[in-house]
Chains A and B, each alone.
Chain A
Amino acid sequence: MDLRAGDSWGMLACLCTVLWHLPAVPALNRTGDPGPGPSIQKTYDLTRYLEHQLRSLAGTYLNYLGPPFNEPDFNPPRLGAETLPRATVNLEVWRSLNDKLRLTQNYEAYSHLLCYLRGLNRQAATAELRRSLAHFCTSLQGLLGSIAGVMAALGYPLPQPLPGTEPIWSPGPAPSDFLQKMDDFWLLKELQTWLWRSAKDFNRLKKKMQPPAAAVTLHLEAHGF
Chain B
Amino acid sequence: MLNASTLALVLANLNGSRQQSGDNLVCHARDGSILAGSCLYVGLPPEKPFNISCWSKNMKDLTCRWTPGAHGETFLHTNYSLKYKLRWYGQDNTCEEHHAVGPHSCHIPKDLALFTPYEIWVEATNRLGSARSDVLTLDILDVVTTDPPPDVHVSRVGGLEDQLSVRWVSPPALKDFLFQAKYQIRYRVEDSVDWKVVDDVSNQTSCRLAGLKPGTVYFVQVRCNPFGIYGSKKAGIWSEWSHPTAASTPRSERPGPGGGACEPRGGEPSSGPVRRELKQFLGWLKKHAYCSNLSFRLYDQWRAWMQKSHKTRNQHRTRGSCPRADGVRREVLPDKL
Contact status B317-A44, CB under 8 Å: no
Report if A71 contacts B (CB, 8 A): no
Contact status A88-B230, CB under 8 Å: no
Report if B265 contacts A (CB, 8 A): no
C-alpha spacing A24/B330, complex, angstroms:
46
> Which chain B positions have C-beta within 8 A of A92?
110
Contact status A90-B113, CB under 8 Å: yes
Quote the shortest CB–CB distance from A123 to chain B (angstroms).
24
Report if A131 contacts B (CB, 8 A): no
Contact status A215-B114, CB under 8 Å: no
Tell me the residues in window 204-258 of chain B with beta carbons closer than 8 Å to chain A beta carbons.
Answer: 230-231
Contact status A89-B115, CB under 8 Å: yes
> Which chain A positions have C-beta within 8 A of B116?
87-88, 193
User: Which residue on A lies nearest to B320, using beta carbons?
Assistant: A220
Contact status B59-A91, CB under 8 Å: yes
Interface of B, helix, strand, loop or mixed by DSSP: loop
Interface of A, helix, strand, loop or mixed by DSSP: mixed
C-alpha spacing A50/B110, complex, angstroms:
32
C-alpha spacing A225/B307, complex, angstroms:
10
C-alpha spacing A165/B87, complex, angstroms:
29
Report if A18 contacts B (CB, 8 A): no
Within 8 Å by CB of B307, from A94, A200, A204, A223, lies: A223
Within 8 Å by CB of B230, from A76, A189, A203, lies: A203
Report if B310 contacts A (CB, 8 A): yes
Most buried by B among A75, A88, A94, A203: A88
What's the interface size class on A, roughly? Answer: 35 or more
Within 8 Å by CB of A216, from B87, B88, B314, B328, lies: B328
User: Which residue on A lies nearest to B335, using beta carbons?
Assistant: A222
Given A75-B87, A218-B330; A90-B111 close (CB under 8 Å): yes
Contact status B178-A91, CB under 8 Å: no
Report if B4 contacts A (CB, 8 A): no
> Which chain A positions have C-beta within 8 A of B328?
216
Tell me the residues in window 126-162 of chain B with beta carbons closer than 8 Å to chain A beta carbons.
Answer: 140-141
Report if A100 contacts B (CB, 8 A): no
Contact status B335-A221, CB under 8 Å: yes
Tell me the residues in window 87-133 of chain B with beta carbons closer than 8 Å to chain A beta carbons.
Answer: 87-89, 110-116
Contact status B331-A89, CB under 8 Å: no
Quote the shortest CB–CB distance from A72 to chain B (angstroms).
12
Report if B60 contacts A (CB, 8 A): yes
Quote the shortest CB–CB distance from A34 to chain B (angstroms).
20
Quote the shortest CB–CB distance from B165 to chain A (angstroms).
15
Given A222-B335, A225-B314; A95-B113 close (CB under 8 Å): no
Contact status B230-A216, CB under 8 Å: no
Report if B30 contacts A (CB, 8 A): no
Quote the shortest CB–CB distance from B201 to chain A (angstroms).
16
Contact status B86-A88, CB under 8 Å: yes
Report if A156 contacts B (CB, 8 A): no
Given A200-B141, A217-B330, A218-B332; A91-B112 close (CB under 8 Å): yes
Contact status A200-B59, CB under 8 Å: no
> Which chain B positions have C-beta within 8 A of A87?
115-116
Most buried by A among B114, B306, B335: B114
Report if B71 contacts A (CB, 8 A): no
Contact status A196-B59, CB under 8 Å: no
Tell me the residues in window 77-96 of chain A with beta carbons closer than 8 Å to chain B beta carbons.
Answer: 77-78, 87-92, 94-95
Tell me the residues in window 4-53 of chain A with beta carbons closer than 8 Å to chain B beta carbons.
Answer: 44
Contact status B317-A222, CB under 8 Å: yes
Contact status B307-A197, CB under 8 Å: no
C-alpha spacing A215/B230, complex, angstroms:
22
> Which chain A positions have C-beta within 8 A of B231?
44, 199-200, 202-203
Report if B311 contacts A (CB, 8 A): yes
Quote the shortest CB–CB distance from A156 to chain B (angstroms).
21
Contact status B114-A197, CB under 8 Å: yes
C-alpha spacing A78/B88, complex, angstroms:
5
C-alpha spacing A221/B317, complex, angstroms:
12
User: Which residue on B lies nearest to A189, using beta carbons?
Assistant: B88
Quote the shortest CB–CB distance from B113 to chain A (angstroms).
5
Tell me the residues in window 116-138 of chain A with beta carbons closer than 8 Å to chain B beta carbons.
Answer: none
User: Which residue on B lies nearest to A219, using beta carbons?
Assistant: B333
> Which chain B positions have C-beta within 8 A of A193?
115-116
Tell me the residues in window 295-337 of chain B with beta carbons closer than 8 Å to chain A beta carbons.
Answer: 303, 306-307, 310-314, 317, 319, 328-333, 335
C-alpha spacing A220/B330, complex, angstroms:
11
> Which chain A positions have C-beta within 8 A of B115?
87-89, 193, 196-197, 200
Provide 25 A-B residue pairs closer than 8 Å at the C-beta atoms, listed in order of the A residue.
Answer: A44-B231, A78-B88, A88-B86, A88-B113, A88-B114, A88-B116, A90-B111, A90-B113, A91-B112, A92-B110, A189-B88, A193-B115, A199-B230, A200-B230, A204-B178, A204-B230, A216-B328, A217-B330, A217-B331, A220-B319, A220-B333, A220-B335, A222-B310, A223-B307, A225-B314
Top 7 A-B residue pairs of the complex, sorted by shortest distance between their CB atoms: A203-B231, A200-B230, A223-B310, A207-B178, A88-B116, A78-B88, A218-B330
Having A91-B59, A219-B333, A223-B310, one finds 4 other A-B pairs with CB under 8 Å, namely A88-B114, A90-B112, A218-B332, A225-B317
